[in-house]
Structure formats: structure tokens, C-alpha cells
Structure 1
Amino acid sequence: MNKDKVESLEQARAQIDTIDEALIELIAARQFYVDQAVRFKRTVQDVQSPERVDEVIKKVRSAAEAKGTDPDLVEQIYREMIQHFIRRELKEIRP
């Protein structure tokens, strides 16, 4: 993403709004693929998969650090999102 200096609060807010729209689109895409992945999971352990959660958290923390973004914030956001998707998946595999 191109990061240009802005000349006003309105310009900054417009850029933030554009980023928010892109983030929502990406979250929706992630949800789509999580919904696809649940078809291949058979048990609660398959869904909760703490090893996979740890792998994702490690990867996003590293990516955040590389971009100069607070890795604790990124981890918190991802943990919340992952837990939401786990709850969603559990509804699919439980009778």
C-alpha cells in the first residue's frame, strides 16, 4: 500500500476509511476460507488446533515487527479473530 503524507485531518480520515474498507474485505475473505477449511475438520481438536494457532501468531508477530507495527496489538487482534472463527467452526462440526 502506498503511504503518502496528508495535508489535512480530512485527508487522513479518508485514507483511514479506505484502509478500513480493505481490512473488512480481507477479513471477509479470511472467513470464506475458514468456512472452507472446516469441511476438512472432523473433531473439536481439529478445529481448536493450538499448534496452528501458535504458528499463526508467531507468523503475524514476525510480520508486524518487520513492518514496524506493534506485534502485541497484532497478536491481540489475531487472537480475537481466531477465537471468533473457532467458535464459528465449532457450530458447524457439532451436531
Structure 2
Amino acid sequence: MESLAEVRARIDGVDDELVRLLAERQRLVRAAAAFKADEQAVRAPDRVEQVVALARRRATAAGLAPEVAEAVWRSMIAAFIDLELEEHATERPPGRAGRRPM
């Protein structure tokens, strides 16, 4: 790398790709939400731990500090859970479980 500006430009490129990937993940999270009947299904603590453990293993294999991967994944998952819960609250009247109408 020739300069700080070049490094920053490459970081910006990586960030662009991360945003694109996060948008795709959000679409998939919303699709999965249609199959979840209640808040417990959205929170899915066992699934969260499974996803975090997998992220740590993948991070290690890719040369990323697993602690960094875990922190990022836990934050990302929490944000998507909040989004799902908000959507559940607005799309399903209280006491109505099951799939959302299409």
C-alpha cells in the first residue's frame, strides 16, 4: 500500500461489500421471520450460540481474531432480533401466532 489514503479507500470498498451483504442477510432474516410464531422463536438463544460458534470457527480459519468475530456477530444478531421483534409487533396483532399473511 502506498499511502493512508489508499488503505482507507480499500477499507471503504470492503465496507461497501459489507453493507451489501448485510442487506442480503436482512432480507433472509425477514424471510425467516415469517416462520416464527412468537418472541421466543425470534430470540432463539440456542440458534444464536450456534451461529456465534460457527462465526468464531470461520474467523479463525480466515485469520480474523475470533473475539472480534464474536463481538461483531453478537451485535449484528441483536440488531436483527430487534428488527424482527419490531416487525412481529407491527404485523401481528397480540394473541395471533403463526405465519404472516402473504
TM normalised by structure 2 equals: 0.83
Identity %: 42
Could you tell me which runs of 5 or more consecutive residues in structure 2 were left unpaired when the two chains were aligned. 94-102
Mapping for residues 1-95 of structure 1, pairs under 5 Å = 6-94=1-89, 95=93
* 1:55 to partner: Cα distance: 0.7
Aligned CA-pair RMSD: 1.0
Equivalent position SS for 2:82 = helix
* 1:92 to partner: Cα distance: 2.2
TM normalised by structure 1 equals: 0.88
* 1:87 to partner: Cα distance: 1.1
Q: Deviations over 1:7-37 (max 9, x none)?
A: 2222111111100111111111111110111
Could you tell me which runs of 5 or more consecutive residues in structure 1 were left unpaired when the two chains were aligned. 1-5
Inter-partner Cα distance in structure 1 for 2:31 and 2:68: 27
Equivalent position SS for 2:37 = coil
Q: Which has the higher helix share?
A: 1
Runs of 4+ residues over 3 Å off in structure 1:
none
